[in-house]
A = this chain, B = another copy of it.
Amino acid sequence: MKTRTTTQQVHILQYLRQKHSHPCAEAIHKEVVKQLPTITLATVYRNLNKLVEQEDIISFKVGNTYHYDGKVGDHIHGICENTGKIVDIEQPELVQYVRKKIHHHGFTPKNIRIIVTGTCKRGETQ
């Protein structure tokens, strides 16, 4: 089953690449529908699943909801309990180090998701 590049897919991927928040499917739909008025939430989900499979984007759960991220490199996600925001913690060497340690421990890692709850700088001043 060869995959086909559709307008919808292009828009979704573009949006995720450009946007550096970590929107959920509904937020993505809300945005993309502005340019493609007929696109449905189901289509957004189907495309997101495809993009994740192709490793063009990554996904992770917060609460009950999947969030999507156009940045695929190793990084850490921080969920600020005060601002509610999901922030990127760019520490690729740290993730690399964790990866190595886990491997030494006898588990061959593929994907590593590190999700931290706590407070970001902005959140602390609230």
Question: Which of A107, A108, A111, A115 lies at the interface centre, i.e. has the most chain B CB atoms within 10 A of its CB?
Answer: A107
The interface residues of chain A, by DSSP majority, are classed as: strand
Given that A76-B102, A94-B98 are contacting pairs, would A113 and B110 also be in contact in the complex, using a CB cutoff of 8 Å?
no
A13 proximal to B (CB < 8 A)? no
Partner of A116, one of B78, B91, B107, B120: B107
A46 proximal to B (CB < 8 A)? no
A68, chain B: closest CB distance, angstroms: 15
Interface size on A, residues (CB 8 A): 31
Question: In whole angstroms, what is the CA distance A115 to B110 when docked?
Answer: 10
Given pairs A91-B101, A91-B102, A107-B118, 14 additional interface contacts (CB within 8 A): A78-B109, A81-B110, A89-B102, A97-B97, A98-B114, A102-B118, A107-B119, A109-B117, A110-B116, A111-B118, A112-B114, A112-B115, A112-B116, A113-B115
